[in-house]
């Protein structure tokens, strides 16, 4: 497998249909752009209509306009997730990319979940389950779950999953990104068990320069942490275009397989070209995977009957 995989290695995607959550900004914008350039029909999911339309206009200036379509999705509202799932055709690629980071505790999802777990994990868990029938109908389809190096600091607090007894913004973020990894592996395990021709693959962007690092803290009114991140991130992070590569490789590399995990190859996996890596140890624990899956199904009321 190539050690310096770049956008030039993306194969032709003509005839494939993709959904990129958070496709209007940051890494998601670049994922949508590169897929559309290679011929895929890309649904660009955005929460804010105005920002979504602005992003769509920019995307259509750089890729065939007919390959790009804006759809509305608020992962912090399961009603929005269910609505979108009824509107989309069968997908070849689902890129669970969107996320929020380091938000104050007072912000919750519409259903009352802690915002980072609810958006980053539960919203994507529900979306994937609702779109799974279509994915199963498309041979060789893929689900890419985007985690983070922050997952290394995470643990799943099953006794206080919403962190009501001890909230920390970064603790909550790390838990949600570890949940993304656990979900990717557990989904792969369940797909294999039924012989499905759908690959569940994980990816992380290392430390990449996007607005994610300071948009979350700004929900708390900004403050020194948000300002610090806004200054430091562009200085030490890799460009967003490089950060999008592991996600794109997981989505389109013909050699990628279900259960794999892609991230930068540099020191600490912070920067570099995308290569296959290992998930964190908890992601491979079948009991942890089963427990997170069951509590996620209970909270979202999305049960994945096709994998039962």
Q: Which residues are catalytic?
A: 173
C-alpha of 240 from chain center: 15
| 3-state DSSP assignment of residue 28 | helix
| 3-state DSSP assignment of residue 270 | coil
Q: Which residue has tokens 């079948």?
A: 286
Cα–Cα dist 118/300, whole Å: 9
**φ, ψ dihedrals at 46, nearest 5°:** -135, 150
Q: Sheet harboring 17-21: ordered strands across?
A: 68-72, 41-46, 17-21, 93-96, 141-146, 198-203, 261-264, 274-277
DSSP 8-state assignment for residue 166:
S
Cα–Cα dist 29/146, whole Å: 14
Task: Report the C-alpha dihedral over residues 55, 256, 263, 244, rounded to 10 degrees.
Answer: -10
Cα–Cα dist 39/64, whole Å: 8
DSSP character string of 212-243: HHHHHHHTTT-HHHHHHHHHHHHHHSBPHHHH
Residue 49's CB is within 10 A of a number of other CB atoms, namely: 11
C-beta of residue 77 within 8 angstroms of C-beta of residue 108:
no
Cα–Cα dist 182/185, whole Å: 5
């Amino acid at each position: 497998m190539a050690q310096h995989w770049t956008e030039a290695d993306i194969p032709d995607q003509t005839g494939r249909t993709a959904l990129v959550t958070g496709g209007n900004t940051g890494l998601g914008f670049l994922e949508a752009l590169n897929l559309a350039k290679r011929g895929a029909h890309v649904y660009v999911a955005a929460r804010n209509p105005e920002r979504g339309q602005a992003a769509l206009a920019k995307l259509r200036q750089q890729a065939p306009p007919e390959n790009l379509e804006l759809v509305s999705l608020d992962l912090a509202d399961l009603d929005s997730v269910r609505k979108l799932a009824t509107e989309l055709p069968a997908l070849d690629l689902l890129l669970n990319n969107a996320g929020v980071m380091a938000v104050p505790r007072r912000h919750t999802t519409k259903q009352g979940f802690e915002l980072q777990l609810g958006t980053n994990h539960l919203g994507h868990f529900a979306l994937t389950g609702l779109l799974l029938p279509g994915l199963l109908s498309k041979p060789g389809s893929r689900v890419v779950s985007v985690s983070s190096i922050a997952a290394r600091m995470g643990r799943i607090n099953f006794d206080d999953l919403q962190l009501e007894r001890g909230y920390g913004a970064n603790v909550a973020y790390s838990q949600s990104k570890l949940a993304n990894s656990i979900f990717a592996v557990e989904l792969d395990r369940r797909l294999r068990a039924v012989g499905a021709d759908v690959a569940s693959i994980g990816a992380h962007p290392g430390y990449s320069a996007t607005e994610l690092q300071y948009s979350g803290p700004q929900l708390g009114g900004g403050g020194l942490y948000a300002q610090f991140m806004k200054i430091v991130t562009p200085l030490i992070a890799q460009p967003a275009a490089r950060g999008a590569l592991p996600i794109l490789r997981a989505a389109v590399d013909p050699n990628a397989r279900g259960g794999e995990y892609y991230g930068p190859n540099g020191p600490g996996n912070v920067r570099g070209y995308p290569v296959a890596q290992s998930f964190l140890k908890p992601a491979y624990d079948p009991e942890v995977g089963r427990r997170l899956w069951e509590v996620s199904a209970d909270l979202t009321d999305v049960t994945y009957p096709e994998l039962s």
